Amino acid sequence: MPELVVNNLAKEYATRGEPLVVLRDVSLELSAGENVAILGPSGCGKSTLLHILGTLDEPTSGSATLQDQNPFELNEPQLAEFRNRNIGFIFQDHHLLPQLSVLENVLVPALADGSPSQEEIDRARELIERVGLSDRSDHRPAELSGGEKQRVAAARALIHKPVLLLADEPTGSLDRTNAQAMTKLLLDLQKQEKTMLMVVTHSMELASQMNKRLELGDGRLAAK
Ligand code: ADP
Ligand code: MG
């Protein structure tokens, strides 16, 4: 049973002239436990697609449902709650908050509804252990390597056991050794958490380890 169902999604950006059509007709399905790589040249709309599926942006037309719920029908507070509970997002440049420790950064999504519960703190510590950073819990991002920062971002994305984990070029700013470690970590975490995983990547090494590979071109997805 597919848990993510995307139908005829289109996205255009308003410009001073003709609208810029980035996504023309994107459809895809992903089932629980599945992972998929999205490939394609720079500027083809990969981040746009991921942001829409992550409910950080809205499509111009078409639909996307996660576990039968269409997030674009929700009002703003409901949408924020939906995103916080169901979606984990890993950005290319980690987006960690510089003034917070590793533990606090992992707990950031838990701050949306007040202070973190003991359960969330325990979960954060467990995730930090699983990404191999227990001895770095009190470090600030500036005191971590690039690979370590990305591992913190992965732990943060998983704090609420998301249904869908989205990663936008998660190894894009890492060297080969760290990129390989991050790839393995992402796939291990996905298996343990039984979440769906969609990764935008330029790395065939990463893409080749995924269940499915789709290429975005001319605003459409094709099997690769
Ligand atoms: P990719 O992630 O594949 O490199 P993006 O999704 O970031 O591509 O961008 C796709 C295209 O849409 C690019 O040409 C980009 O300039 C344009 N674009 C992205 N965001 C906006 C925006 N907010 N307004 C207008 N154009 C945008
Ligand atoms: Mg991008």
Answer whether 20 contacts ligand 1 (Cβ < 6 A): yes
Q: In the numeric block, which tokens belong to residue 61?
A: 């037309």
Q: Say how many domains are in the chain.
A: 1
Instruction: Supply the CATH number for residue 57's domain.
Output: 3.40.50.300
The ligand placed nearest to the CA atom of residue 16 is: 1
Query: If you ran DSSP here, which 8-state letter would residue 143 be given?
Result: G
pTM, 2 dp: 0.95
Q: What are the b/e assignments for 18-48, b being 16+ CB within 10 Å? A: eeeebbeebebebeeebbbbbbbeeebbbbb
- Ligand 1: which atom is nearest the Cα of residue 41? 3
Among 12, 13, 92, residue to substitute to test ligand 1 (most atoms within 8 Å of Cβ): 13
Domain membership of residue 139 as a residue range: 4-223
Answer whether 41 contacts ligand 1 (Cβ < 6 A): no
**pLDDT tens for the chain, residues 1 to 224:** 899 999 999 999 999 999 999 999 999 999 999 999 999 999 999 999 999 999 999 999 999 999 999 999 999 999 999 999 999 999 988 899 999 999 999 999 999 878 999 999 999 999 999 999 999 999 999 999 999 999 999 999 999 999 999 999 999 989 999 999 999 999 999 999 999 999 999 888 899 999 999 999 999 999 98
Calculate how far, in angstroms, residue 28's C-alpha sits from the geometric centre of ligand 1.
20
